[in-house]
Structure 1
Amino acid sequence: MNSRHIYHVDLAPVLGSTFQPTGFPDVGAATFTRFEGGQKVDALLVESVQSMANRLEATAWDSAADRPVDAVAGLPWVRVVRAGSAEFLTSSRLEAHRLASPFVHKATVDGRPMLDVIKEKLGLAKDTPLNRSAMARAVAGLDPFCLVHGVFFSHKEWLGQPKFARASSAVIEAHDVLRAISGGRKSDRVRHQLGEDVGGTAEGYGSVPFHRTEWTAKRIVASFVVDGELLRSYGLPEPVADLLETLALWEIRVLLTGGLRLRTACDLDVVSEVEARRGPALPELDELTGRLRELIGQCGEVFGDGEPLTVEWSSGKKG
């Protein structure tokens, strides 16, 4: 495959002309200025790189069944259950820090701390250089999604604190934007008057006017980058590197095919062909799914039987 893929695709609101971007605490909507033909243009971050990573990963997870979708069955992952039961809690595919999540490294497998298991598998030892290729192979054997979306083993017990950067990144921006100011009123059909002796707005009573800010844009564009060169720099067997790159492309195609309902007031639709700025055209979903299944069958040396590693987590006091 090509060493680097860059794609752009135009989006538009499904309902009306306005949309609600992501918001950040104490910041609100992330506005910025970009340049088009040397002219300043007001722009807006609709969906961040971090959020898009979560959305791409979610394409491969069946939330109703608490397991990966069939297309990626056979790829290893860590399943976290409550200690002493089979109750599913979370997994390395759902956690923000993936394998480095405390729900993973504070768990145990066969009575052994996962913190030590991961340390051993990564070959982390005092006065010993990090073996990036061996670590990448170990990570792929636990959960290959961590090499696509990144993982940082930051715990002090993991000597050297190895990090694997994202090989797949995405963002949604709106260009040439204007605010759409509106408002409304939350009505109380029973309690028409508030007083000190009765529950007020803090309890949800009363009629409360409110304002809201949405946006319009000349263009909304989603951008994707898949760095196959980074994936191949780990020295993994070729079928594994090919699979990781195919997986990243598959996630993009599933996300665009399934629609982009980001929030209640931000439901976007694909309104253009996917433009390949670098690399070949984005393959269709059926082709990518078939290629995934073929490659998974070739990677047993690294992935083993592909069954999840089930670990037990218990809530205990700090320390």
Structure 2
Amino acid sequence: MASSSGTTADNTIVSLQRYPFARRSLEEKKRVKELGPDQPDLQIQLQTSDRGRAYTRGFSWGSYEKRSWLSGCTVSNSFYCFPCLLFQTTGTDNSVCMMVEQSHGESSSSQATKRRRTTSPQERQRIAEEVCDTILGHTKQRFSFTNHLVSATLLQSDKFAHYNKTFPEDALTSTVNAYPMLNGNKLKTELSLIYSKDEFKACCGAVDLFHLFMENNLGEVFSETVTLLKLIITTPMTTAEAERCFSTLKRIKTFLRNTMTQERLNALAVLLMEKGLVTEITDLNQKVIDKFAELKERRAKFMFK
């Protein structure tokens, strides 16, 4: 810890305010670190009162001993947080206590004041550029992986006739790179067969094509195509549906209703998520009542004497 009473040292409050720590060279930063916080003798006198008793508060060297991070300024008679001053953000006030003595004949007492700093237009522009660069960087990183979107073009039924003449080699390569678990040669053979058959051209979308394979027990024959269809169908375009599912679970499994089996939780979640389909079922309430009535009695029988 270093103590300095001048205003020309590198670790003084005035020097750090005029020439911020972040803009200094590595050697200058090491110099400030070696000097430590500037802790001069301050001429602070503050008249205060408590419960009708008036007394004077003044500067004490014990403040520096108890708080090694404390730094003082002889110009403004203020205490500052030295680490906060080094790593401050422009426009913030790091003074711990602003106690300026009101002398020069106006008054014999001193009062605490606050200092406010305004951010310059150049600093605002610099902060805005940093925020925009951060947003652009995260956006590019989020959407850098787009090869999986190309795989959907392989199973568009309206392009089967064109693919039958010219096989989409580039789309197949991108798909295999995006999903290494697929066998590229076998997938190419299956797709070539699909493109040449009129039965598959009548399907509208990946879901219809997947249902066609399942209804005709073609899952083992077109195993790679079925795997690709599952990936395409289950890959969400947005996370809104997943977020709604979590919100639904929060409404079902509350603090007061926390002891339920996984089977019951899944059933209640499906009923709430698919409430549109539930409302279309005729006589649902009556069927639930009849089902519950057919169950065995759960009430214990007590015998009274």
Q: Do they fold alike, i.e. is TM over 0.5?
A: no
Structure with a larger share of its residues in helix: 2
Structure with a larger share of its residues in strand: 1
Normalising by structure 2, what TM-score? 0.18
Q: Which has the larger radius of gyration?
A: 2
Which of the pair has the greater relative contact order for Cα pairs under 8 Å at 6+ separation? 1
Normalising by structure 1, what TM-score? 0.17
